[in-house]
Chains A and B, each alone.
Chain A
Amino acid sequence: MKSSLSRKVFVVFNVAILAATSFLCLVPVINLIAVSFSSRSVVEANLVGLWPKEFTLASYRYVFDNPQFYKSLSMTVERVALGWAVNIGLTILVAYPLSKEKNVFRFRGVYVWFFLVTMVFSGGLIPTYLVVNELGLINSVWSLILPEAVQMFYVLLMLNFFRGIPKEIEEAALTDGAGWLRSLASVYLPLSLPSLATVTLFILVGHWNAWFDGLIYMNLPDRYPLMTYLQTIVTNLDLSQLGSASLANNPSLLELTGRSLRSAMIFACTVPILFVYPFLQRFFVKGMLLGSVKG
């Protein structure tokens, strides 16, 4: 393709504007990192821009010296792993039958409504708590997983993807003697890797970032997932609330009130989940179905 002048102008502007936009998105993150590596006093004077001033690792040392950080991290890993298995398994098992036509799955309409209701209505905070409490799940990792085990939004994503797969492929499998489960496992799932990867990403990030359920279902901070722990540190410690008499008793509390420490906490809690993205990238493949059905 020959590039005309107008094309060149477009490319230059396009690249410039997109680069500027992505830079704008990165600035807060860079500032956060710079703040986390700076000493408390320069940060409190708002003197740190995109590069650390009076470089120090004190904030990170504080974060990583606290045993609670590791307890919370392992709690989060546990809930993400279990939560992913439960969510993705149930999502597939719900989406597959619902993706069938009414002549194949007679009560489809009833079930679709059954699930759609949960998208519009929820029990509300206190009734949900009461249910979880009566089931004896309080303080257990399952209280973070079971209440949100089937997310209709993920089901809809999977369902629509299943519908996009040509019926003829499944018919071929059924003709060759496969049952429904075999067809799901051997035909649909291998062809659905891109949408499975998408849903997996949603699930992982969703479980990683959830903090409110940890706060109300876990009895002691020992069992808090990482984001709940982060939330208590970032939002609760306020110098004006602590009072000077308790500070005089325990000056180390002072260090906690700095933005530097909060930034270090936020960064340390965000990095692990960032690594998920490149690993899932390779599943986003196009054209997997090209040439599967002829005539």
Chain B
Amino acid sequence: MAKKGSNKWALLLTAAMLASVVSGCSGKQEEARQSEPSIASGEAAKPVAGEDGPLGKYDPPIELSAMKNLYGDERFLPGEDIGNNVWTRAYLEELGIKLHYDWAVAGDGFQQKVTMTIASNDLPDLMTLPAKDYFALAKAGKLADLTPYFDKYASDTLKSTLNADGGMQLKTAYVEGKLYGIPQTGGSDGTADMIWIRADWLKKLGLSEPRTLDDVIRIARAFRNDDPDGDGVKNTFGIGFQKDLESGTGSFEGFLAAYHAYAKAWVKGEDGKIAYGAVRPGMKEALAKLREMFKEDLIDVEFGVKDWKKVGEDIASGKIGLLYGREGLPWGTLKDSIVNNPDAEWISVPIVSADARPAKPATHVTLERYFAISANVHHPEALLKIINLFQEKINNKSTTLETLNKFGVDPDSGINFAAYAFGGLDPSVDKPNMYYQQIKSVIEGAEKRENIHPEAIRYYDTIKHFIDNGRDKKSDPLGWNYYKFLGPEGSWKVIDHYRSNDLMEHSAWYGLPTATMSRKGATLDKLQAENFVKIITGSAPVSDFDKFVADWHKLGGDQITAEVNEWYTETFGQ
């Protein structure tokens, strides 16, 4: 107890004392290491003549060490582990690369372990790096320059995966014009908010789907006051909101978009300059509207202390029938809601606008990790080959169901083997976009089942089974799940609507903290959250918003805006 308290002191004091000693040590160590001949990459190995290409095999095999981040609940077939599975065998048999993991860790521990590894100068050959460490190591010359290898060794599938968004995410990986790693790309369409409503409540109260923000408020009023669950008690909320200003279950982002303002997105204005969404015009009106709704008792008075999990409990227990949220909700609380009460009927509709201009939901790209290879390795192209193999097996348009079962989800055990691969990355436009369209066209009879993507076939079968069995939620909640997700009435229908009508506001910032953001971002976020909640709950006047805008600019917002603009121009050009 006394010890706990003193530890902090100890850290502070000894950090100062030891800093010099430690840096001295590691410097020496580094010299020693560099003078050692590198044995890691099997110098003698030469690619087989004539076969050298994106998937060319090394003979004799080369050995590479690696590090990996995990989900936290990897399961394996008997006798297998992270260093011995279908992927490591494929690396050896198909590419001639003997891959072994120095370490692998899940969740928050990953960043800790990366910091330790860098501090002890024990970097493995193949690295999965958090964005911040990727840029630091690239600038320090620890990573191999992939620029000369990319064109020759990146396979067509990999190139099309990375170019699905016009190569935007790939461009973030360049440091001073050179490519040191491949970003773990992913789609951003799935981050768009939509409105989720209990259709059974709408029907009971004689209401129709919302087309404008006034409709939404009218529905909220009815859900609060007209006892939609029919238990005679006023125990339902008008509309569900959570305390945090992030998009998610009970998100504000979709509501604010009705006024063309955004709590978290960086929006490119007509003048070509990027500005923070929360200080844009429109936000004041949006907050005033929320304040009105709060006063009218349409919002849970306790929303200021409820996070998305708590709001989820209200949804699952049938107290909330209207909220803003993302496409994944059928996987979470909505599913719990229909299991608890099979009469619940959820539908998703596009967000609505407060004026004549259509509302655009914000979408976010969050680049968390980059795959890179050590500068000491003699075959930097090995990284690209390993990433190619994942693309070849999983994302290749002509991949077969057999391959997917072997390298993806095992139908017998339900284990997702793809999680064991090093450098697995998905196209920067979400796969569900394609699956939704393919499943829809098969259901409508315009396409044959055999012709669509094998993964889509699997989802189609589940959805078809659910439809054919009379859409019985009670006996087949998982079927309902897929139906509401990728089915003809699923959440991806709404995203398809956004996509085909150009209704998405892509946040111009990709989640890589700028210098000022690292220092002052947390303070500014707190300032924003406090001010917004106070204005909504009526404990501060609406005019405080102007003060917040001034404070935000003054306390570092201006600097961050300049940095974001600079980063954007540097990375993407004009």
Hey, which bits of chain A sit against chain B, CB under 8 A?
40-42, 44-47, 66, 119-127, 129-130, 133, 152-153, 215-216, 219-222, 232-233, 235-237, 239-240, 242-254, 256-257
Collect the chain B residues with CB atoms within 8 Å of residue A133's CB. Answer: 116, 120, 122
Known contacts A45-B316, A236-B72, A239-B328; decide if A245 and B116 are in contact (CB<8 Å).
no
Are A221 and B15 in contact (CB-based, < 8 A)? no
Known contacts A244-B190, A245-B430; decide if A257 and B332 are in contact (CB<8 Å).
yes
Indicate which residue in B3, B115, B326, B331 contacts A254 across the interface (CB closer than 8 Å): B331
Are A126 and B115 in contact (CB-based, < 8 A)? yes
Hey, which bits of chain B sit against chain A, CB under 8 A?
2-3, 6-7, 9-11, 13-15, 18, 22, 25-26, 70-75, 81-83, 101-109, 112-113, 115-116, 119-120, 122, 186-187, 190, 248, 308, 312-313, 316-318, 326-328, 331-333, 335-337, 339-340, 408-409, 414-416, 418, 426, 430-432, 455, 459, 478, 481-482, 485-486
Q: Taking CB as reference atom, which chain B residue is nearest A153? A: B3
**Complex CA distance for A248 and B71, rounded to whole angstroms:** 15
Most chain B CB atoms below 10 A, which of A125, A219, A221: A221
24 sample A-B contacts, Cβ–Cβ < 8 Å, listed by A number:
A41-B335, A45-B313, A66-B75, A121-B14, A130-B22, A133-B116, A215-B109, A216-B109, A216-B112, A219-B103, A233-B73, A236-B106, A236-B108, A239-B331, A240-B308, A242-B71, A243-B328, A244-B331, A245-B432, A249-B408, A249-B409, A249-B418, A253-B73, A254-B331
Indicate which residue in B6, B101, B312, B336 contacts A220 across the interface (CB closer than 8 Å): B101
Indicate which residue in A127, A222, A242, A244 contacts B14 across the interface (CB closer than 8 Å): A127
**Complex CA distance for A240 and B107, rounded to whole angstroms:** 13
Known contacts A44-B312, A257-B332; decide if A119 and B112 are in contact (CB<8 Å).
no
Collect the chain B residues with CB atoms within 8 Å of residue A256's CB. Answer: 73
Are A41 and B316 in contact (CB-based, < 8 A)? yes
**Secondary structure call for the B interface:** helix
Q: Taking CB as reference atom, which chain A residue is nearest B330? A: A244
Are A41 and B485 in contact (CB-based, < 8 A)? no
Inter-chain contact count A-B, CB under 8 Å? 165
Are A47 and B10 in contact (CB-based, < 8 A)? no
Are A220 and B72 in contact (CB-based, < 8 A)? no
**Secondary structure call for the A interface:** helix
Collect the chain A residues with CB atoms within 8 Å of residue B2's CB. Answer: 119, 153
Collect the chain B residues with CB atoms within 8 Å of residue A126's CB. Answer: 22, 115-116, 119
Q: Taking CB as reference atom, which chain B residue is nearest A122? A: B10
Besides A242-B71, A244-B485, A254-B331, 18 new A-B residue pairs in contact (Cβ under 8 A), listed by A number: A40-B336, A41-B337, A41-B340, A45-B318, A120-B6, A130-B119, A133-B120, A215-B113, A216-B112, A220-B81, A232-B106, A239-B328, A243-B328, A244-B190, A245-B430, A246-B416, A250-B409, A251-B481
Collect the chain A residues with CB atoms within 8 Å of residue B318's CB. Answer: 45
Are B13 and A121 in contact (CB-based, < 8 A)? yes
Are B14 and A123 in contact (CB-based, < 8 A)? yes
Rounded to whole Å, the gap between the CB of B243 and the closest CB of chain A is: 15
Collect the chain B residues with CB atoms within 8 Å of residue A119's CB. Answer: 2-3, 6
9 closest A-B pairs (Cβ-Cβ)?
A: A236-B107, A244-B328, A45-B316, A45-B317, A219-B103, A41-B339, A46-B313, A236-B72, A41-B336
